[in-house]
């Protein structure tokens, strides 16, 4: 009988191509595991049995070991899907500024992106559903006198957005439901305290109306937007050089910063104390980014001495060595990290790249697991990240990015492939809702609280617009320092009212002139 099949009872381990016999022929063997742990031929051939028996046993052991090594994760097959052309925002002039920020901010109601503008700084705000070609005369937010560098939506009011600019100011704006009908030039409040351009704005995750700003004057200011006052200051004694990134911890008790002096710091902002710091988390000279992740860890992105891009995971209690350090490639773009605390996935988006890498963070070694990479043809000028409550849970969408092209904003959905259309509870644990857990006064008084969680099982419907009220008269005696307060002095309420009256009178006069001209035109006809 010619070469026969090896048969045994048990589960299949696959097949293998075996070496040629003396006759010069090779054989395909289908292997099965048997209770005795070996492989037995039924219709055997003694000429090759001895040669193959050891090979097959060894191969079977390797197959069993390889199956045990593969890590189980429900996010192994997450994939990115760009939106169709009619679901993109076309013909928008994205800013050409070289500042390393996302230039885009989104929430369940609006998408905002920083645009090129003549004569000052401007950014565009569109209702989320207003896709397609954007009219060239669309009204924009245009109150800054110099280019806008960063924008951030308030997590507790989907109609309020903050902007930082090269004009050294921070402005807070209120966008009406349905979007802008006219250009918006007057902010709800202007926060003035920096002496150089403001490149970072970040809202407190759980306290109402608390906003952080960082400028190129190496100063971090924490504002109570409800009074328009700077209530905390971290001066240049904390950061002696340019601040590259600032991130709040999940409960807002700490901030994590990266600086041009090559140090990453964990700071308690109310006391002005440095809880921990790491010198040179990455050996390269390019900017470092740092964000809080789960279980008291931080994740950093940076460069090696050979300009290779790196991502590292650190335990804030033991910063001597990283828990994990991975080298990615040799591109020059700074990697912007976006962390999802519900899934423990971190997404890395590089400015100038055409890809999004994503990793899963676990509590056991090696801690940082590469999942996959979404790639496209065109490079990205910026990136926006949608909060979890703005996702489509019936499509198993676990993240959505808004990629800025040169003339377009393109949504990209990150999806877990599932056959069922039912709500997947393992993908959507309770997530941060739109309500604040603390007032500004409670947080300044020393209280901390995690975000108030909501379920997405029945979907999420954004609430109606909630008015942002600013009362500058309430900030008397409330300024504090960490260690010493300095901020924008509050304006007199009467002076502000007089200024408003003058502007209204000028507007009325202009409208009256237009009306007179129209009447003259009608009479002439």
- Please give the DSSP secondary-structure letter assigned to residue 364: S
Q: How far is CA 267 from CA 56, 200, 251, 273, 274, in A?
A: 59, 16, 14, 6, 4
| HSE value, Cβ hemisphere, 13 Å, CA-based, for 278 | 27
> Which stretches of the chain score pLDDT less than 70?
1-70, 472-499, 525
Structure tokens at 103: 């230039």
Q: How far is CA 143 from CA 92, 109, 170, 415, in A?
A: 19, 22, 11, 38
CATH number of 79-472: 2.130.10.10
Bridge partners of residue 174, in order along the sequence: 160
Bridge partners of residue 267, in order along the sequence: 255, 274
Cα(5)–Cα(448) distance, integer angstroms: 69
Cα(331)–Cα(309) distance, integer angstroms: 7
Helix (H, G, I), strand (E, B) or coil at 313: strand
Cα(331)–Cα(258) distance, integer angstroms: 20
The whole-number pLDDT of residue 69 equals 53
Cα(92)–Cα(333) distance, integer angstroms: 23
| 217 touches 194 (CB < 8 A) | yes
Helix (H, G, I), strand (E, B) or coil at 151: strand
Cα(45)–Cα(56) distance, integer angstroms: 15
Q: Got the DSSP string for 191-258? A: EE--SS-EEEEEE-SSBTTEEEEEETTS-EEEEETTTTEEEEEE-TTT-SS-EEEEEE-TTSS-EEEE
Burial label for 502, CB within 10 Å (0-12, 13-18, 19+), is exposed
Q: How far is CA 190 from CA 152, 200, 213, in A?
A: 15, 15, 12
pLDDT per residue as tens digits for the range 170-216? 999 999 999 999 999 999 999 999 999 999 999 999 999 999 999 99
DSSP H helical ranges for 346-490:
440-444
The whole-number pLDDT of residue 270 equals 97
**Cβ partners under 8 Å of residue 491, min gap 6:** 472
Cα(510)–Cα(83) distance, integer angstroms: 45
| HSE value, Cβ hemisphere, 13 Å, CA-based, for 501 | 6
| HSE value, Cβ hemisphere, 13 Å, CA-based, for 120 | 11
| 166 touches 208 (CB < 8 A) | no
Structure tokens at 140: 């924009």
The whole-number pLDDT of residue 453 equals 96
How long, in residues, is the chain? 525
The whole-number pLDDT of residue 516 equals 77
Structure tokens at 389: 């409550």
Beta strands in 166-228 (DSSP E): 169-174, 189-192, 198-203, 210-215, 220-224
**pTM of the full predicted structure?**
0.78
Tell me phi and psi for residue 298, to 5 degrees.
-125, 150
Nearest to 33 by CA among 70, 83, 67: 67
The whole-number pLDDT of residue 73 equals 87
CA dihedral 307, 311, 317, 323 (to 10 degrees): -110
The whole-number pLDDT of residue 403 equals 97
> Domain residues of the chain, as ranges?
12-69, 79-472
- Residue 196 sits at the vertex; the CA angle it makes with 193 and 201, to the nearest 5 degrees, is 65
Cα(507)–Cα(104) distance, integer angstroms: 33
């Amino acid at each position: 009988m010619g070469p026969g099949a090896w048969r045994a009872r048990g589960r299949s381990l696959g097949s293998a191509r075996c070496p040629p016999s003396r006759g010069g022929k090779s054989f395909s063997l289908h292997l099965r595991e048997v209770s005795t742990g070996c492989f037995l031929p039924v219709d055997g051939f003694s000429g090759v049995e001895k040669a193959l028996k050891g090979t097959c046993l060894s191969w079977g052991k390797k197959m069993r070991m390889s199956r045990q090594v593969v890590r189980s994760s429900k996010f192994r097959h997450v994939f990115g899907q760009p939106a169709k052309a009619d679901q993109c925002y076309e013909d928008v002039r994205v800013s050409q500024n070289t500042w390393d920020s996302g230039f885009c901010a989104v929430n369940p109601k609006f998408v905002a992106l920083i645009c090129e503008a003549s004569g000052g700084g401007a950014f565009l705000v569109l209702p989320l559903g207003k896709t397609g070609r954007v009219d060239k005369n669309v009204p924009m937010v245009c109150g800054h006198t110099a280019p806008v560098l960063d924008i951030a939506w308030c997590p507790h009011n989907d109609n309020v957005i903050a902007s930082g600019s090269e004009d050294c100011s921070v402005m807070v704006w209120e966008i009406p439901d349905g979007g802008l009908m006219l250009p918006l030039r007057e902010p709800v409040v202007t926060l003035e305290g920096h002496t150089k351009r403001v490149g970072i704005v970040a809202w407190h995750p759980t306290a109402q109306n608390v906003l952080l700003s960082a400028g190129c004057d190496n100063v971090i200011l924490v504002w109570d937007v409800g009074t328009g006052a700077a209530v905390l200051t971290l001066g240049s004694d904390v950061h002696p050089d340019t601040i590259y990134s600032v991130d709040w911890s999940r409960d807002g008790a700490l901030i994590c910063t990266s600086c041009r002096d090559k140090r990453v710091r964990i700071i308690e902002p109310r006391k002005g104390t440095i809880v921990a710091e790491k010198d040179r988390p990455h050996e390269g000279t390019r900017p470092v980014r740092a964000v809080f992740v789960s279980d008291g860890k931080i994740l950093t992105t940076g460069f090696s001495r050979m300009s290779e891009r790196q991502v590292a995971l650190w335990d804030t209690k033991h910063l001597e060595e990283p828990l994990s350090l991975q080298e990615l490639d040799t591109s020059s773009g700074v990697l912007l990290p976006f962390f999802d605390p519900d899934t423990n996935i971190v997404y890395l988006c590089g400015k100038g790249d055409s890809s999004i890498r994503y990793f899963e963070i676990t509590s056991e070694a090696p801690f940082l697991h590469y999942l996959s990479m979404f790639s496209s043809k065109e490079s990205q000028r910026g990136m926006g990240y949608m909060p979890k409550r703005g996702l489509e849970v019936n499509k198993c969408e676990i993240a959505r990015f808004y990629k800025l092209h040169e003339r377009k904003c393109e949504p990209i959905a990150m999806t877990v492939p599932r056959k069922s259309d039912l709500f997947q509870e393992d993908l959507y644990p309770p997530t941060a809702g739109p309500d604040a857990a603390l007032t500004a006064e409670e947080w300044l008084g020393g209280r901390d609280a995690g975000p108030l969680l909501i379920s997405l099982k029945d979907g999420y419907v954004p609430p109606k617009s909630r008015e942002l009220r600013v009362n500058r008269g309430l900030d008397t005696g409330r300024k504090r320092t960490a260690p010493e307060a300095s901020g924008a002095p509050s304006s007199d309420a009467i002076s502000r009212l007089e200024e408003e009256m003058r502007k209204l009178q000028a507007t009325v006069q202009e409208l009256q002139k237009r009306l007179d001209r129209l009447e003259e035109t009608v009479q002439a006809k």
